[in-house]
Amino acid sequence: MEKEEAVKKMAIDFPAYGQQRACNELKKQGIIVGPATVRSVWVRHDLETFSKRLKALEAFMAQGNSPVLTESQVQALEKRKLEKQVGGEIETEHPG
């Protein structure tokens, strides 16, 4: 697997991971990249923030690519939902 594709896959599979954690996990898989490389790939593909990685995960799911979420993905989505509620935002079916 190409390094860039592996970094993008890591961002979708584990959206809560930061640059260093993603770098360390990729090294465990035998893919040697530095945190700066992870950051560069994320910036190139608009994945540089936790929120953007979650949006990418939601778009990936909407395309029917991943019918079952991993525990890590579920936790990240729940964290985002909780942060929205605490911030005064709530999800409704209709605006207003």
Report yes or no on 64 lying in a domain. Answer: yes
End-to-end, the C-alpha distance of the chain in Å comes to 46
Domain of 32 in residue numbering reads as: 3-86
Q: Total structural domains in the chain?
A: 1
Dump pLDDT digits (tens) for 4-49.
999 999 998 898 899 999 999 999 999 999 999 999 999 999 999 9
Report yes or no on 94 lying in a domain. Answer: no
Report yes or no on 70 lying in a domain. Answer: yes
Report yes or no on 93 lying in a domain. Answer: no
Report yes or no on 95 lying in a domain. Answer: no
Q: Which helix (H) or strand (E) holds 79?
A: helix 71-86
Q: What predicted TM-score, i.e. pTM, was given to this entire model?
A: 0.71
Report yes or no on 91 lying in a domain. Answer: no
47-59: burial string, b at 16+ Cβ within 10 Å, e else = bbebebbbebbee
Report yes or no on 25 lying in a domain. Answer: yes
H helix intervals, 35-70 = 35-44, 50-62
